[in-house]
Chains A and B, each alone.
Chain A
Amino acid sequence: MRRLLPLLTLLCLAFGPLPALSQSLEALIRQLPEGSFSDRAEVVAAIAATLDERAVGVLEALGEGDLHQRKADGAILKVTGRGSKARAFDPLTGEELGPVPARSTTAIKVNNALRRAVRSGIATLTLMHRDPTRRLAAANAAFQSADPDQLEALGAALAAEQDASVAEAIAQAQAAALLASDADPALRVEAIETVRARGGRDALAVLTPLRASEVPLIAEAAAAAVAEIERSQAMWARAQNVWFGLSLGSVLLLAAVGLGITFGVMGVINMAHGELIMLGAYTTFVTQELIRGHAPGLFDWSLAIAAPLAFLVAGGIGVAMERGIVRHLYGRPLETLLATWGVSLILQQTVRSVFGPTNREVGNPSWMSGAFQLGEMTVTLNRLTIILFALVVFAGLLVLLRRTPFGLRMRAVTQNRPMAAEMGIRTGWIDAMTFGLGAGVAGLAGVALSQIDNVSPNLGQSYIIDSFLVVVFGGAGNLWGTFAAAFSLGIVNKFLEPVAGAVLAKILVLVFIILFIQKRPRGLFPQRGRAVEA
């Protein structure tokens, strides 16, 4: 590219001043690869100004980086796929032109400024689209770009619009564009009102600069509108904080609830718990790799497939740990700490040897990507899914422990081992299954965490301390305690963070837990009896 630039500049000079509005769409498209990014942004604007419906596809392809120029004749192609799978299409008609030989084309580079021009251009072109959702998207994009040049197109679109909600969005976009123009002050004050009614950050972005307007009337109206939007934002910020707290809490709950079983119920200090989480995440990675390789269509289901596998992998290792190591250490709870720490080192290094030390890519299924607005609050879908997943796992555990024969036996063994053995319960088997259950749940946590955190051999390390604190704070041996602890710590942390900063917030939470344990040495909901005494 660097070597091409001087050449291109030369070409531009040769072709004279760029783009004249009267040129045809075809001619404009051929100019797309030429000149600086800002020159090309003008070409994009000119393409949009043709109001030719075929231009939508061209601009979309450009924005995606799919437009290529054929080296042989300079023709512009839309190319999809890579390497041997690359195929060319006519950007205007969509007609397939066959496979693309390697290195026969060069991609047309786009940068952010050009992508913004593309977005605004597509908005102009799709304001009259037959699909109302496209029209709404176009209106919202037009609102963001707030370009006085679009006023005419917006006016025409508004007049033709039948759908009430789209019409409202177009009217708001028109107001935003009007505010950017030097129209009559009275009109613009009216427009401020329209934008204020829209609310949200987009509206703030339009109104805030107007506070410095030279027209006192506009400046006043804008200041009032901004103040009002900020008030409502501040209210929503609290709700948003609760949401962030719930989300953090759900992560803590997932990480800690397995420990709530192995540590809380069985009294085993399992320092390898974090590594079991990591194994769950790596199981997700392997599952996704297999799906990508063999059945790409199933990718959206990859997490649903990975979850039971992760449970089995981590659970299996848990059972093996219990039979091989922990079994020999009952009655010496603090020594389980040492042995399982050893296990954690081994697991970490094994993963590092097998998968390498670098991060592995675990993708978000499409239904977990993105966010939606709830009032002024952004709800991200992956966080929402994780909260729901945490609740489902927790509920599942409760049912398993309270309502099934296995749960009954488990509680019998933990409460009175000799008596349970007398009753014919195979205590050894129950121990192995209980430990396996705790480990399996850690595996499930790994599946969820793979969606928001690094999948690396160090993954487990970052959760182990938090997990122990959650269990201790909640009261060992009480799953509801773990539940309450996870969510309350999550929310407290998120309310402290904006005030104190992320690090100080965490330190304050730790100090709070230390002090709390002094006051109530058995946590929020102490277990009665003699289950955990070490």
Chain B
Amino acid sequence: MTWSNSMSRSTAVFLGLAIALTACGKKAEPDVTPTPTQTPMNRGPNLDSLRADSLARARDAAAAAARDAAAAAEAARAALVNEMASAIHFDYDQFAIRAGDEAMMGAKAAILRANPALRIRVVGHADERGSDEYNLALGMRRAVAAKDWLVRNGVEAGRIETASLGEEVPLDPSSNESAWAANRRGEFEIMAGAQTLVAPR
């Protein structure tokens, strides 16, 4: 897109030159044989410098295009990172992966399969209602349930660490249903291999 913008900018400059030439030609109208075009050219930009400008513009455009491509790749990578890191949620005192989260889990598994260097840690969290210590075990069950799901879907177990923080790190510290629902979660941290990511085919 930026490349074509540069193209049209260059085109506009050449058109401008053409108009200038035409204007000069009108000025010389009384002469039957118009003087060579040197005079108006001397008053305007010279062709060599125009050519050099054009080359520089092309180089800039290529660099911009490369930057844009890198930005696009980074945006694509960031999208994959976000998809990898998005949290899943659990029912109260349960550790089964919800049916509604399976698409999200499938996307994570695909990213992991497409990027063998990618390593992650799943951290299980609980809401405040269970016992404080029991929630450490429950959070571990949740992390392991997520890991097991990914392993069943083709990801090597050795690439997934698990941990639990129980109810100790709530996303929302309030005591109501929506806070509890938000806090019963599995978080996915990328440990390694996220510098370059390939989108799954």
Bound pair: A and B? Answer: no
Interface residues of A (CB under 8 A from B): none
